Structure formats: structure tokens, C-alpha cells
Amino acid sequence: MAEPVMLITGASRGIGAATARAAAAAGYRLALLARSADSLAPLVDELGDDALALPCDIADWPALSAAVQRVEDHFGRLDAAFANAGLSMETSFLGNGGADPEQWRDMVLTNVYGAAITARAALPALTRTSGHLLLTGSNAGRGIRPGNLYSATKWAVTGLAQNIRAECVGTGVRVTLVQPGMVETEMTASTQDVPKLRAEDIANAVLYALRQPPGVDVNEVVIRPVGQDPYR
């Protein structure tokens, strides 16, 4: 059997790039999606011929669906898709600082719509391989964060994963929601003096779910750094 194929969105940095490296080491061929071809180039060069760069705005349905079709055309199959791309910004509904509301649109489109249409684009291919869909949620999507729209988008991803899993009953497709706590990435660079995970820690959780026997569906993985306040 040919080596399995995994698609990763938000692959150029952070959790996406760490997962690409871990999956490559585990024998996966990779389709790497990010908005910029230039941002993907160093990782593709590092991983070699079994990594395919697919510049794509994941909130653009025609571009995303075409990218998934290219994966099947290039590799002949798709075994796993990781809807990982995300944006974060400070918000306040009272107007107490944070990003201007006009900027909120990109975060909602990326975190919610992008995850939803990644699932829609990938699932027909995944049903043909009894494959695995994984989504990056967040510890922030498990509780109330005053004024925090990012948290609300991750609440939406939690519901999205559950609804997709329900629709996939009987297809053989597994669905896993990975819910990290604070991770050391560009999105959390401004948050200091709190415990943080490494991106590689989340990649290890993704590989744990992927490595389970076909009859085992790891529905959710919540992973926090030791000592993190669960309400932060």
C-alpha cells in the first residue's frame, strides 16, 4: 500500500508546520496549505519530494475545493485532513480596546467558515479511504472569556466537530477535535509569564489520534501546559 496522504491547513508555521514534520517522520506524504507560496517554500524544501505546496485562502471555497482535488490528482488518495488554520486577535464588545470590528471578519471566516469548508472539501475523499478529519479547536472554546470573539469562534469549532462526527456515522471516517491550551506560537507572543506548550506537543497529540486502530475514534484531545489556568 502507498504511504498515506495528509492535508494540513495553516501549514507554514506553528502547529501546522510542527504537525507536518511529525507526520512526515511517520511516513505521510503531505499537502501543505497556506495563503502564501513563499511562506510554504522553506518547509517544502525541508520535507522534500513528498510534500506538495498548495497556496490557498481557506476561506475561498473554489480555491480550497480545487486544492483538495489537486491532492487526489497528485497523490491518488487522501487519508487525513487537518483543519488547523486559525487567526486570533484581541476584541471587546464594549469597545474597550482590541482590534477594530472591521478586522474581526477575517478571524471568523478563517476559524469557522474555513474549518467548515475544509471539512466539506475533504470529506468526500476521506470517505473513499475511511480516513480521518482533525480540527484545531482551543481550550478557549470550552469556557467563557469576557469580550473574546476568538473564544466564540472556537466554541463554534467544537460544535462543528460534533455535528460532522454525527453525519459521518457509518462512513468509516474518524473525526478528532484537538483542543490546545496556551501554545508558544506567533499568535501568543504577546502573552508572557504563563506556561505554554510547544507546537510539537500538539503535533504529538495529532499523531496519537492518527495512530489508533481503525476501530478507535479519539473524539477530543484536551492538552494544556502544566500549571495553566483553565479559564485563561
Catalytic residues: 150
Q: Which residues pair with 7 in a beta bridge?
A: 31, 81
In 85-223, which residue ranges form alpha helices assigned H by DSSP? 101-108, 115-129, 149-167, 199-210
Residue with cell 476559524: 111
CB of 127 closer than 8 Å to CB of 171: yes
CB of 99 closer than 8 Å to CB of 90: yes
* Spatial distance between the Cα atoms of 203 and 210, rounded to a whole number of angstroms: 11
* Spatial distance between the Cα atoms of 11 and 48, rounded to a whole number of angstroms: 15
CB of 218 closer than 8 Å to CB of 135: no
